[in-house]
C-alpha cells in the first residue's frame, strides 16, 4: 500500500475521518457541482423519457440503442474498476485510451474521481471512512436503520459533505496523461454517451422523432438506470448476506448476489472481489458468471492486454494471505498500483 503512506492530511480534512477524505473547500464544492449537473440531466431526462414513452411511444431503434449503450458502458465500468482501480492486467497506450473512453462514457464520474472513491472504499470497507457503506454515513456515524443505510449506499452518498482526495489515493492516475485527458474532457464524453451518439443513431434510423426518443430514453434514462445497476454493488452486495451469499469470511459485509452479477457483467461477485481485489476474473464456481472477467481473459488471448492477475499470479507472488484464505481483506487491493509507481520511479 505504498501509494497512500506518509501523506499528511490536507486542509479541509475532518479529524474524525481517515486521511484522504476532504469535508470542505473547493474539492467538495467541485464535487457538488459535478453531481448537480450530471444528476440534473439524468433525472430530468429520465422523467422526460418516461413521459415521452407513454405519450409518443418508443420503438425498436430506441430499445436497441438503450441495450447496446447499456452493454458497452457496463463493460466500461468493468474496465474502470479492474484496470484503472486495481490494475488487474496491463496494456499499452492505445488499449488504455480505448478503455478510458469506454469507462468515461458510463457517466459515473471521471477516472480520477471513480478510482479515488473506490480505493477509499476498499481501504475502509463498511467502516467509518467508507465512501458508500450501508452501515456508516459520509462522516462516519453508524446508521441505526438498515433501509436508510441501503439508500445511502445506493445513491445518497453522492450528496455527502465529503469527497475523496485524488492526490492521496490516485497518484498513478494523476501521473497518467491518458487517464487525465479523459478526466479533464469528461463532459464531452458524457455528452457523447447521453446525447450525441443516441441522437445520431436515432436520427439515422428514424428521423427527428426517433432522435428525441433516443436522446431521452436510450441516452439520459439509460445513463441513470445503468448507474443505479452499478450502485447495487454498493448496497445489495454489502448487505452482509441479507441478499446473496458469502463465499469468504471477509471483515466487511460483502456478498455475491446473482441478479446484480448478471446486470453488472460480474461485478456483483463482490465478496469474491473484496477477498481477492486484484483478480481480473472474479468467478470461483460455474454458476458465478463473470462476463467482464471473460472479456479481459479474451483480450488476453488476443494479445491486446497482458499480465492478467489471477490465482496463478497470487501463487507466484507468494503473499501468505493470498494463499491461505481466512478473514483477511484488501491485502492486495493496491499491490498493482504500488508496482506501477515503483516501475515509473515515482
Ligand atoms: Zn465493495
Ligand atoms: Zn474493487
Cα(136) to centroid(ligand 1), Å: 13
Nearest to 79 by CA among 98, 56, 61: 98
Residue of 333, 163, 153, 312 lying closest to 243 (CA atoms): 153
Asked whether the predicted pLDDT for residue 73 surpasses 60, the reply is yes
Ligand in closest contact with the CA of 85: 2
Percent of the chain with pLDDT over 70: 87
Q: pLDDT digit string (tens) for 74-94?
A: 999 999 999 999 999 999 999
Tally of domains in the chain: 1
Model confidence at 97, pLDDT cuts 50, 70, 90, reads: very high
How many angstroms separate the alpha carbon of residue 96 from the centre of ligand 1? 24
Counting ligands in written order, the one closest to the CA of 250 is 1
Structural domain boundaries, residue 200: 2-343
Per-residue pLDDT tens for 226-246? 999 999 999 999 999 899 999
Q: Which ligand is nearest to the CA of 119?
A: 2
Backbone phi, psi, residue 337, to 5°: -65, -45
Centre of ligand 1 to C-alpha 268, Å, is 9
Q: Which ligand is nearest to the CA of 124?
A: 1
Range of weakest confidence among 137-146, 153-162, 304-313, 326-335: 326-335
CA of 269 to the centre of ligand 1 (A): 10
pLDDT in tens, 137-191: 988 899 999 999 999 999 999 999 889 999 999 999 999 999 999 999 999 999 9
CA of 275 to the centre of ligand 2 (A): 10
The reported pLDDT for the residue numbered 2 is 37
Mean pLDDT of 16-40: 90
Q: Which tops the pLDDT comparison, 309 or 10?
A: 309
Is residue 8's pLDDT more than 70?
no
pLDDT exceeds 60 at position 327: no
- Residues 22, 165 contacting (CB under 8 angstroms): yes
pLDDT at 138: 87
Ligand 1 centroid to residue 17 C-alpha, Å: 19
Question: For the segment 189-226, what is each residue's pLDDT rounded down to a tens digit?
Answer: 999 999 999 999 999 999 999 999 999 999 999 999 99
Predicted confidence (pLDDT) at residue 317 exceeds the cutoff of 80: no
Q: What is the pLDDT of residue 13?
A: 53
The alpha carbon of 121 and the centre of ligand 1 are apart by a number of angstroms equal to 6
Using CA atoms, how far apart are residues 4 and 19, in angstroms rounded to an integer? 9
Question: Which tens digits make up the pLDDT trace of 260-283?
Answer: 999 999 999 999 999 999 999 999
Instruction: Say yes or no to pLDDT of 329 above 70.
Output: no
Residue 179 CA to ligand 2 center (angstroms) comes to: 18
Instruction: Tell me the mean pLDDT in the region 119-139.
Output: 94
Amino acid at each position: 500500500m505504498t501509494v497512500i503512506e506518509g501523506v499528511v492530511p490536507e486542509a479541509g480534512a475532518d479529524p474524525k475521518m481517515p486521511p484522504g477524505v476532504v469535508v470542505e473547500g473547493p474539492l467538495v464544492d467541485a464535487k457538488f457541482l459535478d453531481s448537480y449537473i450530471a444528476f440534473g440531466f439524468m433525472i430530468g431526462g429520465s422523467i422526460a423519457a418516461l413521459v415521452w414513452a407513454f405519450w409518443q411511444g418508443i420503438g425498436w431503434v430506441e430499445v436497441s440503442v438503450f441495450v447496446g449503450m447499456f452493454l458497452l458502458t457496463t463493460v466500461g465500468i468493468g474496465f474502470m474498476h479492474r484496470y484503472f482501480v486495481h490494475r488487474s492486467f496491463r496494456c499499452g497506450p492505445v488499449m488504455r485510451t480505448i478503455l478510458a473512453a469506454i469507462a468515461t462514457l458510463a457517466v459515473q464520474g471521471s477516472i480520477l474521481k471513480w478510482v479515488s472513491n473506490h480505493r477509499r472504499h476498499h481501504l475502509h470497507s463498511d467502516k467509518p471512512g467508507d465512501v458508500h457503506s450501508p452501515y456508516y454515513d459520509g462522516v462516519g456515524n453508524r446508521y441505526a436503520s438498515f433501509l436508510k443505510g441501503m439508500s445511502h449506499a445506493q445513491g445518497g452518498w453522492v450528496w455527502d459533505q465529503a469527497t475523496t482526495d485524488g492526490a492521496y489515493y490516485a497518484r498513478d492516475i494523476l501521473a497518467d496523461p491518458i487517464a487525465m485527458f479523459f478526466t479533464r474532457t469528461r463532459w464531452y464524453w458524457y455528452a457523447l454517451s447521453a446525447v450525441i451518439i443516441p441522437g445520431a443513431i436515432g436520427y439515422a434510423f428514424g428521423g427527428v422523432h426517433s432522435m428525441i426518443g433516443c436522446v431521452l430514453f436510450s441516452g439520459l434514462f439509460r445513463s441513470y438506470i445503468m448507474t443505479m445497476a452499478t450502485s447495487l454493488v454498493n448496497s445489495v452486495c454489502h448487505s452482509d448476506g441479507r441478499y446473496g451469499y458469502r463465499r469468504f469470511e471477509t471483515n466487511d459485509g460483502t456478498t455475491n448476489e446473482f441478479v446484480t452479477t448478471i446486470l453488472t457483467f460480474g461485478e456483483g461477485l463482490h465478496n469474491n472481489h473484496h477477498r481477492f481485489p486484484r483478480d481480473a476474473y472474479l468467478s470461483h464456481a460455474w454458476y458465478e458468471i463473470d462476463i467482464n472477467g471473460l472479456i479481459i481473459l479474451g483480450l488476453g488471448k488476443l494479445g491486446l492486454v497482458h499480465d492478467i492477475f489471477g490465482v496463478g499470479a497470487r501463487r507466484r507472488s507468494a503473499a501468505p494471505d493470498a494463499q491461505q484464505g481466512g478473514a483477511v481483506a484488501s491485502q492486495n487491493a493496491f499491490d498493482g498500483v504500488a508496482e506501477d509507481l515503483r516501475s515509473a520511479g515515482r
